Chain A
Amino acid sequence: MTLIIARALRSRTTTHCQPLSLRRTITTFLATLLLAIPATSVWAQPGAGWQTVEALAKKEGTLSLYHNLRPSGIEKLLSEFRKTYPGIKTDQMRLGSAPLIERFATEFSAGRNLADVVITFPDETMLKGVDNGGWALEWTPPELSAFKPEINRGNKMFAVHTSRNVIIWNKQRVKPADAPKEWTDLWDPKWKGKVAMDPPWRSIAVQGLIAHWSNIGLSDSAQKLKANDVRFFEGSAGVFQAVLRGDALVGTLADLPLEPGLVDGAPIGFVYPKSGTAINDGYVMVPAKAPHINAGKLFANWIMSAHGQAVLQEIGGLPSTRPGITPPKFIPATSSLSNVVDSLAISSSAQQAQAINTWREVFGIR
């Protein structure tokens, strides 16, 4: 398989491509037409019943979900949805919450809207986009009445599950007496080089955690962890796997992979420190410019139904926000934890940016 061919390369002036003006006009016209259609169907909503939404959704026939749920459960979630609403094809794209929001923002700005429904942990960008940027559709899902009012953000986003920051350790390598109990144990020198976490510039949950640390008087966390040779891994799943494998012995993460791992029998110990933890709600949102907006609404409503919430909890591993759903087997319900704070509430965007910058500087990133 040789790429070596004996030919000399000569250069000349380059050509440049012709502007396709006629084509551009036609495509813009068509694009506007296409965008107008879902817009009109949105305005058809008030007054029309849920049956209309269902009927329209079936006619649209397809749904595109952008999410950051566990990939090994997503197929099951979608197939349960399809069992309830046959005739709607589904496809999904999974990215970490930050890249997911990034992708959505890019597509939105470029006018290439492909997502019909989004489930993720929002960050500053997303909050801005949803609240003021026209990202989300404003509507009232029928299932909303079964939830506590706190989960509703301006009738645009609805919290469907909650993740909490937790400390874990490898039960096979760490003796019970040595097991960490509090956040401060993370920078205990006996774990030097064996602590795992997700870096704050990649995780909204960690940003909340850092803010919480500041609030309870644990300052200079970046320097302390750097001194302890903390290792960064990709996402909570990455941290979980790292501790499981023994790349690290203790770690902190958002507890998404915890329940499913424990169900599998993973030898992982965990603790939610008594000094409190930051939590992040995962929200569902239907984009205002979704190409199949009724299918999106149908899905969002379904995921908030009892059936949907049960499935979501099972495959997502996080406790449901809907009252009346049986809590997970291994991890405690949020209500039973002490000193719980909502990440979004405890830090402003300015504080977050500053914290990220500090961490970046300490660890020499960029």
Chain B
Amino acid sequence: MNRWTKQNTIAQHRFNFLAPLYALVFAAVALMALVPVLALVLGSLRDSPPGQPGNWTLENWVNLASPGVIDTLITTIQVACLTTIFSMILGTMLALIIHRTDFRWPNAMTGLLGLSFYFPSFILGMAWIVIGSPGGLINDLMRELFDIEANLDIYSVSGIVLVMVLHQVPFVYLTMRGPVLGMDPSYEEAARTSGASAFTMLRRVTLPMLSYALASSALLCLVMSLEQFGIPVLLGIPGRVTVLATQIYLLCRFPPTAYGLAAAIGLTLAAITALAILLQRRLASGGQAVVTTGKAGRITPIRLGAWRWPVNIFCGLYISMGLVLPTIILLYTSLIKFFTGNPLTAAYTFRNYISIWESEGTQLATLNTLLVSGGGALVGVMLGAACSYFTVRLKPTGHRVLDMLVMLPFGVPGVVLGLGLLWAYAYLPLPLYGTMTLIVVAYVTRFLPYATETAGARFVQLDRSLEEAAWTAGASRQTGVWRIVLPLSLPSLQSGYFLLFMAFFREISATILIFTASTSVLSVSIWSYFEQADWGMASALSILAMILMLGIMSALLWAMPGARQR
């Protein structure tokens, strides 16, 4: 018989190793979440770069009200709102088309949209510069074929919005797919039997029913748009269109630098995104029950009839613009010596690929990428599963704090997080600066909420009695976790690993400020090539990176059946 302290809920008992594990996890998450944020707050009150002597000042916060920053803020909101509106419209249309009508190729379209989701944003931006810049393909072709001066300019707000929409539509589709599929068909059937046409039904029944999901998805889309780094920086700088993320980057990269102001701007941006996320969570927990009954049932698909070909063209157009065309363009630019719009007169060469193959820097970057993605995703999933177990199942004292700490970086844009880490680790005596560990820490911090959500959803679904049966059968809590909870959660752990791996592989914004010579990853290499306008190398490396990504994706999906459900 053991002596136990008297407490109210079962979870607050002290267990043999779960208690120190909880302490460790709590400390790790607290450090990871708080250090960059606190460093940013401190940094925003300094008037000198990190590490250099200076004074405390409120000037950075005062400068937030300067016309330059206000302008940038307005542009950011403009771009974000436009992107969200268009992405939501197109994404929801796609979800409805694929899952609610008798569209002929739902599976193919879903697969292609999935691929588009993984297309890295800055690579998409690069490709579209080739297509839509003043000297780009479209203008060239219009001039040569039709003798029209099209004067299309991708270096503009509309250009940025276009490419951002192309990038985010798959995200909207994926978030709206669940609610569209899970809708109780009886509401729509009631509308149809009352005499409503398909269009009226969509307008007056389906969309209102989806309103919570739409609002929730729109908020997440808004956050994504606010956080976007690659596309606004690539397309915005030549056209002098600056959003907050761009400005942070510029302030840290080019002299005269203003790290303090960048920190203040970063915190402001993070506050906006955090607000949007809080709103979204309130919404998500509020309105679910009404629509999804779990009895998905058989839905009568809407007949497209005369709309069939317009719809097909619409879908085809999206896939070409968002996936096919960019890939072909990049392939083309990777094989020519210097840019020309006419493929027939271009000087072709393989030297970019040869150069990459022989390049030690690229080999190192590839190795680093695989290490960070493979190893980092593992760390992230384990940490996320542990956090989730504590916040969802065990609920020891302080679990709400842990939950909040995990969610904290969710609202912090990648570039801001990188800046925070730069401030923090340039100062702290921990020898993390310049190491791969720092990159892994940055990535895990940024994406930990994803891992916790995936694992957490599973823990919530896992029937308590499965664990309790283990305890009453003689298994201690630890044994119960090891032999019952973990094996049963494996599919969602695999899913989480896949999610993290892919996210880490594509990530650019969190590392752009903290990478060093030996810790550069593929995305940074591509970015660097692009920054030096070395289009051949940038596109060749992009193509190779995407092939690598596809290969790994297939390998992971084959090896981890649980990941396929997503």
Contacts and interface: CB of A to CB of B under 8 A. Distances in A.
Given A14-B401, A246-B139, A247-B134, A75 B359 contact: yes
A17 B254 contact: no
B534 A245 contact: no
B534 A71 contact: yes
Nearest to B72: A366
B52 A109 contact: yes
Interface string B277-318: 010111011001000000000000000000000000000000
Interface stretch (A1-9, A146-154, A210-218): A1-9
Contact of A265 (B174, B178, B347, B457): B347
Interface stretch (B425-433, B472-480, B544-552): B425-433
Contacts, number: 228
A99 B358 contact: no
A321 interface: no
A110 B433 CA distance: 10
A257 B403 CA distance: 52
A17 B136 CA distance: 52
A245 B364 contact: no
A156 to B, nearest CB: 21
A273 interface: no
A12 B404 contact: yes
Most A CB within 10 A of own CB, among B358, B534, B535: B534
Interface residues of A, number: 81
A271 B96 CA distance: 59
A17 B34 contact: yes
A240 B398 CA distance: 58
B150 to A, nearest CB: 12
Contact of A91 (B255, B361, B528): B361
A332 interface: no
Given A110-B50, A232-B237, A247-B133, A1 B174 contact: yes
A102 B254 contact: yes
Interface string B20-55: 000000110011001100000000000001111000
B216 A4 contact: yes
Interface stretch (A22-30, A300-308, A336-344): A22-30
A238 interface: yes
B229 interface: no
Interface in A70-93: 70-72, 74-75, 78-79, 90-93
A14 B234 CA distance: 38
A278 interface: no
Contacts of A96: 253-254, 531-532
A232 B240 contact: yes
B517 A235 contact: no
Interface in A5-42: 5-17, 23-24, 27-28, 31
A94 interface: yes
A264 B337 CA distance: 7
B284 A246 contact: no
Tell me the interface secondary structure of chain B in the complex: helix
A241 B533 contact: yes
A175 B27 CA distance: 68
A257 B536 CA distance: 14
A9 B281 contact: yes
Contact of A4 (B213, B256, B341): B213
Contacts of B337: 264-266
Contacts of B140: 246
A159 interface: no
A265 B340 CA distance: 12
B376 to A, nearest CB: 19
Contacts of A65: 517
Interface string B334-350: 00011101000001000
A123 interface: yes
A299 interface: no
B135 A242 contact: yes
Contact of A109 (B51, B433, B434, B535): B51
Interface string A96-114: 1011011001110111101
A110 B51 contact: yes
Nearest to B426: A110
A364 B67 CA distance: 9
A310 B30 CA distance: 54
Contacts of A365: 68, 240
A244 interface: yes
Given A1-B566, A2-B174, A233-B238, A92 B338 contact: no
A71 B517 CA distance: 13
Given A2-B175, A14-B401, A91-B517, A245 B136 contact: yes
Q: Give me the 3 closest cross-chain CB pairs, A-B, nearest first.
A: A246-B135, A110-B51, A245-B135
27 contacts: A2-B178, A4-B178, A5-B456, A9-B278, A10-B400, A11-B404, A13-B401, A71-B529, A71-B532, A75-B358, A98-B255, A102-B252, A107-B426, A112-B434, A123-B255, A201-B255, A234-B533, A235-B531, A238-B238, A241-B535, A246-B135, A247-B238, A248-B135, A266-B338, A356-B256, A363-B240, A365-B68
Interface of B: 26-27, 30-31, 34-35, 49-52, 66, 68-69, 71, 117, 130, 133-136, 139-140, 155, 174-175, 178, 213, 216-217, 220, 237-240, 252-257, 278, 280-282, 284-285, 288, 337-339, 341, 347, 355, 358-361, 364, 398, 400-401, 403-405, 407, 422, 426-427, 429-431, 433-434, 450, 453, 456-457, 499, 516-518, 520, 528-529, 531-537, 566
Given A17-B31, A109-B52, 19 more contacts: A1-B174, A1-B175, A3-B175, A5-B457, A7-B281, A10-B403, A11-B404, A27-B429, A64-B517, A79-B360, A93-B520, A94-B528, A102-B254, A234-B533, A238-B531, A241-B533, A244-B135, A245-B130, A264-B338
Interface of A: 1-17, 23-24, 27-28, 31, 64-66, 70-72, 74-75, 78-79, 90-96, 98-99, 101-102, 105-107, 109-112, 114-115, 123, 125, 201-202, 231-235, 237-238, 240-242, 244-248, 257, 261, 264-266, 356, 363-366
